[in-house]
């Protein structure tokens, strides 16, 4: 009697390890991120922490398979929102009565807090004599995302990983 080997597919409650190149717009776009086999991206599939269309494109793949797809900006991080670009008074950046010389650099990202104390990451767009213009849009807002990569491995998630909603151990979260 022949023994059939079960081939695991990416589906909910599996731990997936992938490598990929992320480019803006298309395969010819600017490289934003490269994840290789020395430090693959490991995640709990179906846990809700990733872009839904990203997971849709990986669903059903098996270890060793490659993938290539583009997610339009509206299904990724959305369009650039003008209301997320705001002017803040220069004095809120003061420490002991003065703004540190190296703090306000155009292009730098700073973590700020909203009125409820939630962290907000913003990019410094312009520094004036009285105001600082910051962009609190996601860095990839307005961009189509092109992914090309491969599935390294797939395994069943442990009960603990399912209860916590994330991967534990190598490539995952350590408590």
Domain boundaries, the chain: 14-77+141-164, 82-135
CB 5 within 8 A of CB 146: no
CB 165 within 8 A of CB 47: yes
* Spatial separation of the C-alpha atoms in residues 93 and 132, rounded to whole Å: 9
Kindly report, residue by residue over 113-130, the tens digit of the pLDDT: 988 999 999 999 999 999
Q: How far is the C-alpha of 151 from the C-alpha of 62, rounded, in Å?
A: 7
What's the average model confidence in pLDDT over 145-151? 98
The string of pLDDT tens digits covering residues 47-80 is 988 999 999 999 999 999 999 999 999 999 999 9
Residue with tokens 């962290």: 119
Band the pLDDT of 104: cuts 50, 70, 90: very high
Tell me, what's the pLDDT at 53?
97
First to last CA, the chain: 45
pLDDT value at position 175? 47
Query: Whose CA is closest to 17, among 48, 39, 2?
Result: 39
Q: Look at residue 171 and tell me whether its pLDDT is greater than 80.
A: no
Query: Which helix (H) or strand (E) element contains residue 161?
Result: helix 159-164
CATH placement of domain 14-77+141-164: 3.10.50.40
Tokens of 15: 């731990």
Residue 74 has what pLDDT? 96
Vertex 74 angle, CA 70 and 80, to 5°: 115
CATH 2.40.10.330 is the classification of domain 82-135: yes
Please tell me the predicted confidence (pLDDT) of residue 25: 95
Strands, sheet with 85-89, edge to edge from the N-terminal-most edge strand: 85-89, 131-135, 119-127, 109-113
The C-alpha angle 8, 9, 10, rounded to 5 degrees, equals: 130
The whole model's pTM is what? 0.82
pLDDT tens column, 14-40? 999 999 999 999 999 999 999 999 999
pLDDT at 170 > cutoff 90: no
Q: What is the pLDDT of residue 1?
A: 57
**pLDDT over 90 at 4, yes or no:** no
């Amino acid at each position: 009697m022949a023994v059939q080997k079960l081939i695991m597919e990416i589906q909910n409650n599996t731990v997936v390890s992938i490598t990929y190149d992320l480019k803006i717009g298309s395969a010819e776009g600017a490289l934003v991120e490269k994840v290789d086999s020395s430090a693959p991206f490991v995640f709990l599939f179906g846990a809700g922490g990733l872009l839904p269309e990203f997971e849709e494109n990986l669903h059903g793949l098996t270890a060793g398979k490659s993938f290539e797809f583009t997610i339009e900006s509206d299904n990724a991080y959305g369009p650039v929102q003008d209301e997320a670009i705001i002017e803040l008074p220069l004095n809120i950046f003061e420490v002991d009565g003065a703004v540190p010389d190296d703090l306000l650099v155009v292009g730098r990202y700073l973590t700020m807090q909203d009125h409820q104390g939630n962290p907000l990451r913003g990019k410094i767009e312009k520094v004036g004599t009285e105001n600082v213009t910051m962009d609190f849009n996601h860095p990839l807002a307005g961009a189509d995302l092109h992914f090309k990569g491969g599935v390294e491995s797939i395994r069943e998630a442990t009960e603990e990983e399912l209860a916590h909603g994330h991967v534990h151990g190598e490539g995952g979260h350590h408590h």
